[in-house]
Amino acid sequence: MADASNVSRLRLALSLVALFLSSMCTMGDLVISPIVANVYEAFADSPLWLVNLGITGPALIGLPFGLVAGYLCDHADKRVIMIVGFLIFTLSAVFGIAYDNVLYFVAMRLLATGVGWGITNTAAFAILADMFSDDERHARYVGWYNSCMSVLGAILASVAGYLALGGWELAYETYWLAIPVLIMLIAFLPAFPPREAAEKVLDETLPIAEASVPVEIKPSSRVGSVSPRWWVVLVPLTMQVFFVALFYYIILYLIGVYVADKGIGDEAYIGMLTSVLTLSTAAGSFVFGFFYKRMANRVYIPGLAAIALAFFVLAWTDSMVIVAAMLIVAGLGWAFYFCFFYTYCTEIVPTTKTGMATSVVATSNGLAVSASSQVLTYSMAVTGFASYELYPTFGALMVLILVLSILWGALPFRKHK
């Protein structure tokens, strides 16, 4: 909802590029992945729980800040929120290892990919919802954003791993890539004031890139008096997001446990699988808009089916090639589902609540990250099964989620787009 009279097509294009590149904040943890062992060694004399907090704590710390950012996005200029969040990420990441002290290391980690991620992730999706009022165009750009995010994750991990060969602290130099992105956000990102304020005076659209992009949203049928129970429509989606993400992250984050239990590869193979999974997610996100145009909000169905299929086949196979192929399938399935829920959550709420809706589903997704390792490890401990022996159960639960979702959508009182 920028001022069309003051914003050129070029600036809008550059602002969109900057917004896409800002997704490096979400993937910033991958800079740490190649040097985790070095971090534990460097701070071997420090309490283990404290080092663990620095390694895995940011995901949890970022959740409340995402919710706060969601509220602010509905009541303040999203441009300011986005820039503040990315500034926090940039400063705390670039200077994250400037001082050799475990408390400093942990604090900078929690600020960078905790606080910074919580704010920028919510603001970015809220801005995309403002930029594109048309559902199909919105879905397309959400897909492209996630595709860019996945590619950036692969680049960050690769660059950090290469730099770390000269000393693990050098991996932090990867974060210098954030500085030009911050400059672009400041220079090109237009104002995105709250919907209620902006829609009183804005009713034009402005073209960007290949088509006319409604950067300034016309008055919407979802604007007006907002029911105090507006959030109720988000409850089923939020529950679905948590459980789908929970099972998918067992594959994404704990594939090393699976490979070790199967005895089919080493660390290099695990790294290759992670890259394959990330790049397949990028590819699926890139084409998400094409399928959304044809399937609308039913697009999540093949996504969930793909993840379920991956669990069943991974439990059965001992082939390294088939395992890699199934991770491609799972990555494609997740791309469709991830892009779906970030698109759909803004469609079912009043336009003045898109920021909060985005932060709520992001929180559910974030909680699933932390819960995934607990579910797998405790399930293994209770049953005595290896990880792959539990995979058929996870696959069956994914099928159950899919069936319940389809039945819920078919209920007579449900409205379909």
CATH domain 9-213 topology: Growth Hormone; Chain: A; (1.20.1250)
How many angstroms separate the CA atoms of 163 and 175, rounded?
11
Report helix, strand or coil for 211: strand
Residue, of 106 and 256, whose pLDDT is higher: 106
Q: How far apart are CA 338 and CA 233, in angstroms?
A: 18
Residue 226, pLDDT score = 63
Rounded to 10 degrees, the C-alpha dihedral 354/357/358/362 comes to 180
Alpha carbons 244 and 250: distance in angstroms, whole number: 10
Q: pLDDT by residue (tens digit) across 353-410? A: 888 888 889 889 888 877 887 888 889 889 999 999 999 999 999 999 999 999 987 7
DSSP 270-321: HHHHHHHHHHHHHHHHHTHHHHHHHHGGGTHHHHHHHHHHHHHHHHH---HH
CATH class of domain segment(s) 230-410: mainly alpha
The whole-angstrom separation of Cα 216 and Cα 133 is: 9
Average pLDDT over residues 50-70: 85
Chain centroid to CA 94: how far?
22
Mean pLDDT of the region 24-44: 83
- What is the CB-side half-sphere exposure of residue 16 using CA atoms within 13 A? 22
Report the Cα–Cα distance between both ends of the chain, in Å, rounded: 24
**pTM listed for this prediction:** 0.75
Same fold, 9-213 and 230-410: yes
d(CA 221, CA 384): 55
pLDDT at 86: 97
Dihedral angle sign, alpha carbons of residues 7, 12, 13, 17: positive
Contact (Cβ atoms closer than 8 angstroms) between residue 261 and residue 388: yes
* Amino acid at position 22, single letter: S
- CA dist 330 and 306 (Å) reads 6
* Choice between 301 and 138, residue whose per-residue pLDDT is larger: 301
Question: Measuring CA to CA, which residue among 334, 298, 308, 329 is closest to residue 397?
Answer: 308
Q: How far is CA 341 from the centre of its chain?
A: 11
Task: Give the pLDDT confidence score for residue 206 in this predicted structure.
Answer: 41
Read off the pLDDT of residues 249-300 as tens digits, 9 standing for 90 and up.
888 877 878 888 899 877 668 777 877 888 899 899 889 888 988 888 889 9
For the chain, what is the total number of helices (H) and then of strands (E)? 18, 2
**Predicted confidence band of residue 106 (pLDDT cuts 50, 70, 90):** very high
Instruction: Give me Rg for the CA atoms of the chain.
Output: 21
**Extents of the domains making up the chain:** 9-213, 230-410
pLDDT score of 267 = 64
Q: Which of 69-83, 118-132, 400-414 is the least confident region?
A: 400-414
* Minimum mean pLDDT range among 51-55, 148-152, 183-187, 264-268: 264-268
- Supply the pLDDT for residue 215: 41
Q: What is the pLDDT of residue 256?
A: 77
- Averaged pLDDT score across all residues of the chain: 84
Provide CB contacts within 8 A for 409, sequence distance 6+.
297, 298, 416
User: Rounded to an integer, what distance in angstroms lies between the CA atom of residue 311 and that of residue 395?
Assistant: 5
Secondary structure (3-state) at 222: coil
Query: Which comes out higher in pLDDT, residue 94 or 278?
Result: 94
Per-residue model confidence as pLDDT tens digits over 194-231: 866 555 444 444 444 344 344 444 444 445 556 777 88
pLDDT number for residue 108: 96
The rounded distance, in Å, linking the Cα atoms of 73 and 408 is 30
CA distances from 3 to 129, 217, 271 (A): 17, 11, 46
Is the distance from CB of 129 to CB of 358 less than 8 angstroms?
yes
Average pLDDT over residues 304-313: 97
Residue 233 in tokens: 């429509």
Closest CA to 359 of 344, 371, 342: 342
State pLDDT tens for residues 321-335: 999 999 999 999 999
Q: How far is CA 20 from the centre of its chain?
A: 12
Position 414 scores a pLDDT of 54
380/388 Cα distance (integer angstroms): 10
